[in-house]
Amino acid sequence: MEEMTLDPHKLRGLAHPLRVRLLGLLREQGPSTASKLAQRLGQSSGATSYHLRQLAAHGFVTDEPGRGTQRERWWRAVHRSTHLDAATGRADPVAAEGYLRAIATSSYRQVEDAISELPTLPPEWQDAVSFSTTTRRLTAAQTAELRDRLQALLDEYPAESAAADAEPVVVNWQLFPVVRR
C-alpha cells in the first residue's frame, strides 16, 4: 500500500470533505463498514455508503477480502497516502482548493482530538507528542528541498511496526509562504 498521486479525475473524486474523512479513517483505523464509519462520523449510513462507492470508483478504497456478508460490506484503503502535485492543482484549481480545504479541516479535527486525549495518554506518549510551529525565511527552491528532506526522513520509518507498543502516529506538516495582506 503506497502513495497515490492525484490526477485531475481522481482529484475531483476526492474533493469532498466526507470522502477525505472516510479515507483518513480507513487509513488510520483499518477496514470498516459504512455503518461503523457513519456512527464514528455522525453521518447516515446511506451517506457514507454513497461516498465509499464514489471513493471505490476513483480507486481510493476497495472491498476487504474475506470479510463481510451480503448485508455488510467491508472497505479498506488502497493507498497509504495521497499526493497532490502542483501541476494537477493548476489543472483544476477549484477541485484542488476543495480537496485542500477538506484536508485542512480533517487535520484540524485530528489535532483537536489529540489535544482532548493528551491528558489520558501514558507519560511516555505525552512526552513524545509535539505541537510546534516555526517560521523560516526560505526561497522556493529551499522550501522544495526541505519538503523532500522531510519526506525522505519519514520514509525511513516503516508504515507498519512490529513493536508491541507501536501506535498509529499522525505526521502532519505543511510548508507554505506566509500570506501577506
Q: Is 157 among the domain residues? A: no
55 and 22 Cβ atoms separated by less than 8 Å = yes
* DSSP E strand boundaries for the chain: 3-5, 32-33, 61-63, 74-77, 81-83
Domain count, the chain: 1
Separation of CA 169 from chain center? 12
- CATH number assigned to the domain comprising residue 13: 1.10.10.10
Give 81's DSSP letter: E
User: What's the pTM?
Assistant: 0.81
What is the mean predicted confidence (pLDDT) over 22-35?
Answer: 93
More confident position, 115 or 181: 115
Q: Is 105 among the domain residues? A: yes
**CA-wise closest residue to 52 among 67, 159, 96, 44:** 44
In tens, the pLDDT along 43-94 reads: 999 999 999 999 999 999 999 888 867 678 999 999 988 999 999 999 999 9
**Confidence check: pLDDT of 176 > 90:** no
Q: Is 111 among the domain residues? A: yes
Q: Is 129 among the domain residues? A: no
Q: Is 171 among the domain residues? A: no
According to the model, what pLDDT value does residue 164 have?
86
Domain that holds residue 60: 3-121
According to the model, what pLDDT value does residue 31 have?
95
Q: Is 172 among the domain residues? A: no
Q: How many CA atoms lie within 13 A of 177 on its CB side?
A: 9
More confident position, 179 or 124: 124
SS3 state at 167: coil
More confident position, 31 or 171: 31
Q: Is 56 among the domain residues? A: yes
Q: Is 151 among the domain residues? A: no
In tens, the pLDDT along 90-147 reads: 999 999 999 999 999 988 988 999 999 999 999 999 999 998 888 999 999 999 999 9
SS3 state at 177: coil
72 and 43 Cβ atoms separated by less than 8 Å = no
